[in-house]
Amino acid sequence: MILLVPETIEPRLLQGFPDGVEIALLPKEAPLSEQASQAEFAVAPYGSGAKRFFAELPNLKHLKVVQTLTAGVDWILPRLPPGIVLCDAAGVHDVPVSEWIVAAILSAIKRFPEFRDAQREQRWAYRWVDDLEGSTVLFLGYGSIARATEKRLAPFEVEFIRVARTAREGVHAWADLPALLPKADVVVNLLPHTPQTDKLIGAAQFAQMKPGALFVNAGRGKTVDQEALVEAIRAKQVRLVTDVTDPEPLPEGHPLWSLPEVFLTPHMAGSTPKLYERGFRLVREQVARYIRGEPLQNVVQDGY
């Protein structure tokens, strides 16, 4: 079985695959080799490498499975031909993204961005700040990243409200949201972007939030109506810490660059040195399952 991986992957990460697996490289510029064109299983590059992968898809006649290294798949799903199984990297980003969320909440509650601005101005900007203890954190989307975030927030003695597409024990359905949002001090968006979640969070949801609530977006920018978000910030209905925007990169002159009560990072929450180590641990497991004829993990259905 031939496994296609981006040529930028470190050789040390390509060890430990089952016997019979041949590694072929997807080059950044050179023509695709004959071996690579026979690949059944591919690890999709993202970022700048995605364009080359999409260009070569018509030449991968034997391709059956594509494994991403990203939790979100909105960037690749519309480009895959029918019949190819797509698997996301759920679980790979739990640690860094949950750490980012905790850092985002704490830095906003303790007003670190404001104090940093004051430091640059050499201004002693004394003020009172809030406690995280006793707060209520509401998750929009409840998967492995939300669970990892809960684990890290638990020592702060916060209460959790969980909302997902499908209700289950301990998790509310979306229809319950109007009654739940007013209870939350912090709302964490972890929704993937699908046709069903496009601009799902809008003016109605922001109006239901507690005035001054902290909105933390580590999901996708397109799940939020950006105009409604900007208006809610201007009205001091919400404060924002976000790792994602719509569009990305955020264009020069966009209100989110300069509005007060906003702190943003450039979609980097999952970008840490251990990303590829965790990612290829999953790839090795997936390839072994494929060879053994066992069900794959993280198969994308209904957009995620």
Per-residue pLDDT reduced to its tens digit, 39-65: 999 999 988 889 999 999 999 999 999
Parallel/antiparallel/unpaired status of strands 22-26 and 186-189: unpaired
Please choose, from the candidates 201, 198, 187, 94, the residue with its C-alpha nearest in 3D space to the C-alpha of residue 143.
94
Render pLDDT for 220-232 as a digit per residue (tens, 0 to 9). 999 999 999 999 9
Stretch 126-139: mean pLDDT, rounded?
Answer: 98
Q: What is the largest CA-CA distance in the chain?
A: 66
| Token pair for 208 | 């239901």
In 67-143, which ranges are continuous DSSP H helix?
Answer: 94-109, 112-120
CA torsion, ordered 94, 97, 101, 106, to nearest 10 deg: 100
Per-residue confidence at 303, pLDDT binned at 50, 70, 90? confident
Residue 132 has pLDDT above 90, yes or no: yes
CATH of domain 94-264: 3.40.50.720
- What pLDDT shows up at residue 60? 97
- What pLDDT shows up at residue 46? 86
Question: What order do you get walking across the sheet with 186-189 strand by strand?
Answer: 172-173, 159-164, 136-140, 186-189, 213-217, 238-242, 262-264
Cβ 230 vs Cβ 201: under 8 Å:
no
Q: Which helix (H) or strand (E) holds 149?
A: helix 144-153
Cβ 73 vs Cβ 92: under 8 Å:
no
In 235-298, which ranges are continuous DSSP H helix?
Answer: 275-292
Please choose, from the candidates 176, 184, 177, the residue with its C-alpha nearest in 3D space to the C-alpha of residue 160.
184
Render pLDDT for 144-177 as a digit per residue (tens, 0 to 9). 999 999 999 999 999 999 999 999 999 999 999 9
Residue 201 has pLDDT above 90, yes or no: yes
Fold match between 2-92+272-292 and 94-264?
A: yes
- What pLDDT shows up at residue 48? 82
| Token pair for 269 | 């929450």
Residues sharing a CB contact under 8 Å with residue 22, sequence separation 6 or more, in sequence order: 1, 2, 3, 35
Q: Which class is 2-92+272-292 in CATH?
A: alpha beta
* Residue extents of the structural domains in the chain: 2-92+272-292, 94-264
Per-residue confidence at 7, pLDDT binned at 50, 70, 90? very high
Residue with the larger pLDDT of the pair 303 and 158: 158
| Token pair for 66 | 């594509």
Please choose, from the candidates 147, 84, 145, 143, the residue with its C-alpha nearest in 3D space to the C-alpha of residue 296.
84
- What pLDDT shows up at residue 49? 87
- What pLDDT shows up at residue 47? 83
Stretch 89-98: mean pLDDT, rounded?
Answer: 97
